[in-house]
């Protein structure tokens, strides 16, 4: 069996992105951007694409990317999650870019990889899976009408929209539409309701090709979201351990008390378990080493729950200061809760895991207990 280890190049990539985020996405910057418009720094986003080249690491060189793998992109996603980097990470890198790659490229792709434009994925999903019955936007002669709610990064330059036409559901690139910002828990990740009224759209794919691109995007997006959740959980663990080593009670650091040690150890187990699941999903999608749907559901069920538990434990371990606006913990709590609602809850993914495993057992002839 092949063993997964990070390469020296991936470790260098991690250090480089971490240093960049420390300089351009520190806590003060994140707070300033999340309270202003457009909610991120376009200049920083352009540097991530044009200078660092980290927005298309998993894109083949023939399509203008770096020619790496999804594991490379997951390393970057983990560091973005640790920094709570404001910007269209989920919409552009997690969903739209993979969809365009699955379609064999598009004129829009080069601008997205350079960071000169941003995109969002206006395709309704059923807990992370494509369901054409949820598509309510209609298309006629290249004009779209209808509404898509809760579009992450919905204020982006371009939207990839699923719309139903005479020949079924197609995937369109749309630059217009009315974007109504939503009041959300996590201000570092904006959402919007998008309305179309005979809005021009450019057809990218239809029928089976559109379904294939949407499915690929949702899989990749879920794997990268899991890596992002790992990054946030790791940052909270590091913060908690550092605090336990400096906060004094009864003349001793609280980290010397057994109960605190056990809680920190439990948090470490959660983070490491989540990291293994997240990178297994990325590796599976990259190299085809496992069932992609199973690997993605395992990652989402594990990482979303781990992030929330670590976030809540961090608040408790910090005591009274952990509940204050001035402390950064609440920013991660909000991101953890919001991320857990994207592309399906942990409970939904556990149900899918059970179904996939039971179906595989039945297909292989293995007896399955039913009661």
CATH number of the domain enclosing 216: 1.20.140.10
**Count of alpha carbons within 13 Å of 362, Cβ hemisphere only?**
8
Residue 169 to residue 267: CA distance in whole angstroms: 44
Q: Which pair of structure tokens corresponds to residue 227?
A: 């890596």
> Which pLDDT band, with edges at 50, 70 and 90, does 254 fall under?
confident
- What is the distance between the alpha carbons of residues 138 and 36, in angstroms, rounded to a whole number? 34
pLDDT at 371: 47
Is 230 a member of any domain? Answer: yes
On whether residue 68 sits in a domain, the answer given is no
Is residue 225 a contact partner of residue 307, using CB atoms and an 8 Å limit? Answer: no
pLDDT at site 23: 96
What is the share, in percent, of the chain residues with pLDDT greater than 70?
Answer: 96
Mean confidence (pLDDT) of the chain: 93
Please state the rounded mean pLDDT for residues 37-49. Answer: 95
Strand ranges for 65-190 from DSSP E: 119-122, 125-126, 129-130, 138-140, 143-152, 158-165, 168-174, 178-181
Closest CA to 61 of 12, 4, 109: 109
Which of the residue ranges 12-26, 191-205, 249-263, 326-340 would you say has the lowest mean pLDDT? 249-263
Other residues' Cβ atoms within 10 Å of the Cβ of residue 274: 25
Is residue 53 assigned to a domain? no
Higher pLDDT, 73 or 260: 73
Instruction: Tell me the two tokens of residue 366.
Output: 């293995």
Does some domain include residue 344?
A: yes
Identify whether 205 is part of a domain.
Answer: no
* Nearest Cα to Cα of residue 282 among 356, 201, 225, 346: 225
Answer yes or no: is pLDDT of 89 > 70.
yes
Closest alpha carbon to 151 in 116, 197, 128, 182 = 182
279 pLDDT above the threshold of 70: yes
Q: Read off the pLDDT of each residue in 163-167 and give the average, rounded to a whole number.
A: 91
Instruction: Identify whether 356 is part of a domain.
Output: yes
Beta strands in 5-127 (DSSP E): 119-122, 125-126
The model carries a pTM of 0.94
pLDDT at site 289: 86
In this model, does residue 284 exceed pLDDT 80? yes
Range of the domain at 300: 210-363
How many domains does one find in the chain?
A: 1
What is the predicted pLDDT for the residue at 46?
A: 96
- Residue 280 · residue 295 · CB < 8 Å: yes
Query: Where does the pLDDT of residue 359 fall: very low under 50, low under 70, confident under 90, or very high at 90 and above?
Result: confident
At residue 369 the predicted structure's pLDDT band, cuts being 50, 70 and 90, is low
pLDDT exceeding 90 applies to what percent of the chain? 87
Domain annotation covers residue 350: yes
Q: Is residue 257 part of a domain?
A: yes
């Amino acid at each position: 069996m092949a063993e997964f280890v990070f390469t020296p190049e991936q470790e260098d990539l991690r250090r480089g992105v971490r240093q960049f985020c420390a300089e351009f996405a520190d806590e003060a910057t994140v707070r300033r951007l999340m309270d202003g418009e457009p909610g991120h720094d376009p200049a920083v986003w352009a540097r991530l694409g044009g200078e660092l080249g980290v927005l298309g690491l998993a894109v083949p060189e023939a399509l203008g990317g770096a020619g790496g793998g999804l594991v490379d992109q997951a390393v970057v996603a983990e560091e973005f999650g640790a920094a709570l980097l404001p910007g269209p990470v989920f919409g552009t890198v997690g969903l739209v870019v993979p969809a365009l790659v699955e379609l064999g490229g598009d004129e829009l792709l080069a601008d997205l990889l350079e960071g000169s434009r941003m995109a969002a994925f206006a395709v309704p999903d059923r807990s992370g899976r494509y369901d054409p019955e949820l598509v309510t936007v209609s298309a006629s002669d290249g004009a779209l009408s209808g509404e898509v709610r809760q579009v992450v990064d919905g204020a982006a330059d371009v939207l990839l929209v699923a719309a139903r036409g005479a020949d079924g559901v197609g995937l369109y690139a749309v630059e217009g539409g009315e974007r109504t910002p939503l009041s959300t828990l996590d201000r570092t990740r904006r959402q919007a309701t998008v309305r179309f009224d005979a809005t021009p759209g450019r057809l990218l794919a239809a029928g089976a090709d559109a379904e294939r691109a949407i499915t690929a995007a949702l899989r990749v997006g879920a794997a990268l979201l899991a890596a992002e959740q790992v990054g946030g959980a790791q940052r909270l663990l590091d913060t908690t351990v550092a605090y336990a080593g400096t906060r004094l009670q009864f003349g001793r650091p609280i980290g010397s008390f057994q109960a605190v040690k056990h809680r920190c150890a439990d948090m470490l187990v959660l983070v490491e378990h989540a990291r293994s699941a997240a990178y297994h999903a990325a590796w599976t999608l990259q190299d085809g080493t496992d069932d992609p749907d199973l690997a993605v559901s395992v990652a989402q069920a594990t990482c979303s729950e781990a992030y929330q538990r670590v976030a809540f434990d961090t608040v408790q371990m910090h005591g009274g200061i952990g509940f204050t606006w001035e402390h950064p913990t609440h920013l991660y709590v909000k991101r953890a809760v919001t991320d857990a609602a994207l592309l399906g809850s942990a409970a939904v993914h556990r149900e899918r895991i059970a179904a996939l495993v039971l179906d595989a057992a039945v297909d292989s002839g293995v007896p399955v207990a039913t009661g």
